[in-house]
Amino acid sequence: MRRALTLLICCLFIFAAGCSGTGNKGMVKPDAEGKHAAGADSSDQANKQGKMNPNGMAGSDGKPKTITFSTYHYNAYYEQAKREYEAKHPDITINLEYAAKDDSDLSGQALEKFRQTTSTELLTGKGPDLIEMDWLPADKYIGRKLLVNLSSMMEQDSSFKKEQYFQNILDHANPDGSIYTIPLHFSLQALLGDKEAIERSNVSFNDTTWNWNQFTDVLKQLVQKGDYEYGYAYKAQLSFIYDMVRGNYSRLVDAENRKANFDNGLFVQLLEQTKTMEEQKIASFNYRNFKKSYFIPVDINSPGSYVSNLKHSNFGKPAYYLESKGDGQQPGGFFSTYDNLAVNANSTVKAEAWDFLKFLMSGDEELSTAQFFPISKAAYEKQVSHVLKDGVNAETGKNQNETIRVTETDLQGLDAFIAKAVNMKSDMPGEIQKIVFDETPAFFSGQKSPDAVAKLIQNKITTYLNE
Amino acid sequence: MNRKRLRGWIRKDGIKALWFLAPSLIGFACFYIIPFIMGIYESFTDGSLGGEFVGFDNYKEVLSSSSFRKASVNMLIFTGIGVPLVIVLSLALALLLNRPLFMRNWLRTSFIMPLVVPVASIVMIWQILFDWNGTLNAWLHHFHKERIDWMQSDWSMGVIILMYLWKNIGYNMILFLAGLQSIPKDYYETARVEGAGRVRQLFHITLMYLTPTMFFVVLISIINSFKVFRETYLLAGDYPYDRIYMMQHYMNNMFSSLDIQKLTAAAALMVGFIVILVSGLLSVERRFRENLE
Amino acid sequence: MKNIQWIPKVVLTLLLGLLAVVMLVPIVLTFTNSLMTEQEIGRNYDLLGQMIDVEQGGKDAFVNLKLIPDWLSFGQYAEVLVLTSKFLGMFWNSVALVVPIVAGQAVVASLAAYAFAKLRFFGRDKLFMLYLLTMLMPFQVTLVPNYIVIDKLGLMNHASAIILPGIFGAFGVFMMRQFMAHIPGAYSEAAMMDGGGAWVIFWRIILPLAKPGLAALAVLLFVDYWNMIEQPLIFLQDAYKQPLSLYLAQINKEARGIGFAASTLYMAPMVLLFLYAESYFIEGIQLSGIKG
């Protein structure tokens, strides 16, 4: 009796599953997960165009080649670029593969899959030809010699003119001196300060070179002058922790000797300092105090935001200042990169992939309309002319839907400002950052003592360093 | 049985054995032995794709890594406590459930149920219990005690052992039950007739005839102790608290840093250690078996 | 005398019963929580993993572990089965992967186990040791070589990339060898005297006696492979081929609200299988009783 019942239920299950199963099996849904190849229809278009344009393609021999381009997120720009490139080069097919569409990967499983698959493929000498490295451990890949040294490709390619791109970004996005990944977009991070109030206070500093301790000193002095309640308002406690650790990195982490120094009291001191900083009103962790601080953190994402940040601040005479440097960082500004692409060292179509990469880098129209600065100066000029013509939308503040007119003078300092950017904003090893970020919230919420937190972090970072 | 016949048997067996072994061997070689050897080979090369032979360099590096040593120690502690514990408990349960009891079938089924719960659900329930804001801390709070960060203190080893026990008591119990039921009842009959007491029966019959099963269960329990990694990883991430940082964490992190060489070197060391352990067990088992036949 | 005799029985039953309840708690919890509305789940478990501000009263906040739902609702099941169309498809995928593996390994392993247990040949123990060793390897070690092998065989992104290695797994060989090993040699010798070849002995004598072992093997294999995550993640690239285990891992992080129902449905086949296989255990008793 029982056996018959279980058998019946099993059959029901299988029957029900089979019904919907066959429905799904046939289709390749361009859905949230799994690999998606968006290359099927391109060859038709290319044939329709008919024209061959072999110029600019190094070493092409007319044979049909496929470039596999693998990214984590779907990016409409890539799709568009692919179509245009294939139209110009009929014997090239580009296979666009992505793991997740938009923000649909909440659980991180698609990312995990993307990471593991890409690593495994590359380690076996296979894998995609062009890779988006944003979410992958680029330094480890470079260490294993899995990526092509693009600097040498640039030198050998006479048609590539490095001056057409923001060289300081290209060079400093790669720590070793040789370029392995090329960012298609970047943004700048800086401080917005009340120039008037600062000059009035007669506190002197050099924002190009100041380090974290000098920065906090300046904040202390400024607050005493009384123009504003706070010296600096952080967006979040974790950004403060980041700055603090990065600012004291060499004293907290001794990578060479594989020693972590979170237990020597310095870290505890720093943690406790956050409480005093808030009490002494040197820094605030409440974004509501943005209006009451001498300095606030800003992101400059485009020529438009360069202007709108200034126009929207409540400072009388706002000005940009450079953030404080961490250990080993160079005097200058900070930038973050996006859409970092690299070429697989074991690719069989290196030259073609490099050519497509160049094409992506130079996409004037598309790059200029994206939300960040483009790597190509030509696209940047286009961005500038757009904004001069159309103005920029007010994103915050009372005039929310108004458009601000932008003039040449407004943008005067921007070129120089971009040229000053020489430090990558997040250059702490991801594992250390994660460990610190995971453990410190317990301190801030008052649930654990700073000693307990420091001990945990010390523990884990030691484990990491000693692997 | 004279010598000639024996020799004839051995020769006959060789070819016959091949027929029985063939399907398994072919597939096994293809999907397990060859990758295994390739993996071990990797541990003797350096990182470049060409693979230059570097001898024992990777092994030296691995052995000198204090994290590796920490992982080994934790692994030994965990296995040293967990495996004997689970075997004693599951054997006791199997023996108890092999006798007439009320509701025996229901009891048996319920002990085996933990096997059936998927890892993801277990993790959720365990989180609910042991999280900083979890139920256990709620009880502690109710009794006016301090909260304990279960997963980030030395208690974490206890939590992991508990998870391991919960899941594997049922696992081993199935195996012991199957083993117990394969012992012919008449052995017990004979013993009883000859006046042997319960305890004597236990030791001389049950444990004796359970030896092959026991060997199996010991090894499987060790292997399952490795599987506990999945739950630990889901609960505590890449870098858990010191006490529960195990060999698989080390290996997983090596894989993330693409350091396949150190990964396979560590694995080879681990396997080497277990080979010694298993050979010891095998020889003990063989001696018992020869006594049986 | 008789009265006293059943007291230990009751005590024992009670003790074991208590233990059994403890064992079952997580399962019962999963089931009852699956009958709660998603909002209730959110309310109860929102605090998991969060550090709340002590000053804002965080010291007294805890997760609410409820056994009985406030409101009985099948909403979770509706959401999982009907609204999320992937579920049944993935269920089928899981079945299509696990059943061949279990059946295949049972067959292949029994054959090999007989050789290891009952036949004598050169290098038998050493070969067996090799089988054992591979079980000890965590998957990262053989991942890259496995990838190469499967790629060379052209099985990438195909169900066989998972089924084939599953069929030739060492666990079955190991287990069946142990069970066959303590079937006393007298049986095979007797059959051989009667003129039976190795195959006959295997088919007519050893295999039937190893039924409890086979039943146990089937259950354990099913549970193991039903839960596998790493292999499908790497070797199956298309979304529509993914098994249920991957879905569950995702759901518990993304949508905790329906995670309980998904888990309950996920567990159901294994529970049914076990109940079904249990009868073979009992048959095993009867058989060993008949054996003289």
For residues C28-33, average pLDDT = 84
Q: How confident is the model at residue C53 (pLDDT cuts 50, 70, 90)?
A: low
Interface of B with C in 108-127 (CB under 8 A): 108-125, 127
Q: Per-residue pLDDT averaged across C273-280, rounded?
A: 74
C79 pLDDT band (50/70/90 cuts)?
Answer: confident
pLDDT tens-digit series, residues A31-57? 333 344 443 333 333 333 333 333 334
Q: Hey, is A23 helix, strand or coil? A: helix
Supply φ then ψ for residue A130, to 5 degrees: -120, 130
Give me the residues of C, 246-275, that contact B with CB < 8 A. 248-249, 251-252, 256, 259-260, 263, 266-267, 270-271, 274-275
Any bridge partners for residue A70, and if so which? Answer: A97, A131
Amino acid (one-letter) located at B101: L
Chain A, residues 78-137, CB within 8 A of chain C, namely: 106-109, 112-113, 116-117, 120-121, 123-124, 126
Residue A298 tokens, joined: 């800003």
Asked if the Cβ–Cβ distance from C54 to A446 is below 8 Å, we say yes
Share of chain A above pLDDT 90, in %: 13
Question: How many other C-beta atoms are found inside a 10 Å radius of the C-beta of residue B4?
Answer: 8
Chain C: which residues have CB within 8 Å of chain A? 51-55, 58, 85-86, 88-89, 91-93, 95, 143-144, 147-148, 151, 233-234, 237-242, 246, 249-254, 268-269, 272, 275-276, 279
**Touching chains, C (3+ CB pairs < 8 A):** A, B
Q: Rounded to an integer, what is the distance from CA A331 to the centroid of its chain?
A: 21
Residues, chain B, total? 293
The amino acid sitting at B140 is L
Q: How confident is the model at residue C291 (pLDDT cuts 50, 70, 90)?
A: very low
Mean pLDDT to the nearest integer, C168-181: 84
Q: Considering CB atoms only, which of C53, C239, C240 is closest to A446?
A: C53
In this structure, are residues C284 and B98 in contact, taking their beta carbons and an 8 Å threshold? no
What mean pLDDT, rounded, does chain B reach? 82
Q: How confident is the model at residue C292 (pLDDT cuts 50, 70, 90)?
A: very low
Where residue C5 falls among pLDDT bands split at 50, 70, 90? Answer: low
* Cα(A447)–Cα(A440) distance, integer angstroms: 10
pLDDT for the residue numbered C237: 82
How far apart, in whole angstroms, are the C-alpha atoms of residue C197 and residue A181? 67
- Write out chain B residues lying below 8 Å of C278, CB-based: 105, 108-109
Mean pLDDT of A272-296: 82
- Top residue of C147, C229, C237, C245 to mutate, by most chain A CBs within 10 Å, is C237
**Residue whose pair of structure tokens reads 């899941």 in the numeric block:** B167
- The CA distance from A86 to A94, in Å, is 7
Question: Which residues are registered as beta bridge partners of A36?
Answer: A98
With beta carbons under 8 A apart, name residues in chain C contacting B129: 65
Residue C43: predicted pLDDT: 75
* pLDDT, tens digit (0-9, with 9 covering 90-100), for A226-252: 778 888 888 787 888 888 888 888 888
Chain B, residues 16-35, CB within 8 A of chain C, namely 16-18, 20-21, 23-28, 30-35
Distance, CA of A124 to CA of B264 (rounded, Å): 15
Show residues of chain C in contact with B292, CB under 8 Å.
Answer: 182, 184
- With beta carbons under 8 A apart, name residues in chain C contacting A285: none
Read off the pLDDT of each residue in A273-296 and give the average, rounded to a whole number: 81
Question: Which of C121, C203, C253, C254 is best to mutate for the B interface (most B CBs within 10 A)?
Answer: C121
In the structure encoding, which two tokens stand for residue B38, read together? 């390739």
Whether A387 shows a pLDDT value over 80: the answer reads yes
Distance CA B218, CA B281 (A): 9
Of the two residues A51 and A292, the one the predictor is more confident about is A292
Note the pLDDT tens digit of each residue in B141-178.
Answer: 888 888 888 888 888 999 999 999 998 888 788 778 77
| pLDDT given at position A8 | 55
Give the residue from B7, B31, B90 with the most C CB atoms within 10 Å of its CB, the best one to mutate. B31
For A402, which DSSP code?
P
Rounded to the nearest integer, the mean pLDDT of chain A is 80
Min distance B80 CA to chain C CA atoms (Å): 17
Angle subtended at Cα C181 by Cα C179 and Cα C182, rounded to the nearest 5 degrees: 80
Answer whether A145 sits within 8 Å of B152, measured CB to CB: no
| Torsion angles phi and psi, residue B191, rounded to 5 | -60, -40
Q: Do C242 and A20 touch (CB under 8 A)?
A: no
Give residue-wise pLDDT tens across range A189-218: 999 888 888 888 888 889 889 888 888 888
Torsional sign, CA A340, A345, A348, A349: positive
- Name every chain B residue with its beta carbon within 8 A of the beta carbon of C289: 185
pLDDT-based confidence at residue B216 (cuts at 50, 70, 90): confident
CA atoms within 13 A on the CB side of A346: 18
**Amino acid identity of B75?**
M
d(CA B126, CA B134): 9
Token pair of A224, please? 């005493």
Q: Tell me the three-class secondary structure of chain C, residue by residue.
A: CHHHHHHHHHHHHHHHHHHHHHHHHHHHHHHHHCCCCHHHHHHHHCCCCCCCCCCCCHHHCCCCCCCCCCCCCCHHHHHHHHHCCHHHHHHHHHHHHHHHHHHHHHHHHHHHHHHHHHCCCCCHHHHHHHHHHHHCCCHHHHHHHHHHHHHHCCCCCCCHHHHHHHHCCHHHHHHHHHHHHCCCHHHHHHHHHCCCCHHHHHHHHHHHHCHHHHHHHHHHHHHHHHCCCHHHHHHCCCHHHCCHHHHHHHHHHHCHHHHHHHHHHHHHHHHHHHHHHHHHHHHHHHHHHHCC
Question: Over pLDDT 70: what percentage of chain A?
Answer: 84
pLDDT at C154: 86
Residue C129 has pLDDT above 70, yes or no: yes
**What's the rounded Cα separation, in Å, for the pair C126 and B279?**
10
Q: What is the 3-state secondary structure (H, E, C) of A413-439?
A: CHHHHHHCEEEECCCCCHHHHHHHHHH
Nearest CA of chain C to the CA of A36: how many Å?
8
Task: Give the C-alpha separation, B126 to B236, whole Å.
Answer: 11
Question: Rounded to an integer, what distance in angstroms lies between the CA atom of residue B94 and that of residue B172?
Answer: 9
pLDDT in tens, B245-270: 999 899 989 888 888 888 888 888 88
What tokens does A457 get? 């972090």
A52 and C CB contact within 8 Å: no
What φ, ψ does residue A31 adopt, rounded to 5°? -100, -155
Partners of B117 on chain C (C-beta within 8 Å) are 26-27, 30, 263, 267
CA C158, C162, C163, C168 dihedral sign is positive
The percent of residues in chain B predicted with pLDDT above 70, rounded, is 89
B83: confidence class by pLDDT, cuts 50, 70, 90: very high
DSSP B215-256: HHHHHHHHHHHHHHHHHHHHHH-SS--GGG--HHHHHHHHHH
| Cβ–Cβ contact C126 with B under 8 A | no
Which residue shows structure tokens 């020489």? A422
Calpha distance B95→B177 (Å, rounded): 8
For residue range C189-220, list pLDDT tens digits in order: 777 777 777 777 788 777 777 777 788 788 88
pTM: 0.83
Q: Which of B245, B254, B256 sits opposite A463 (nearest CB)?
A: B245
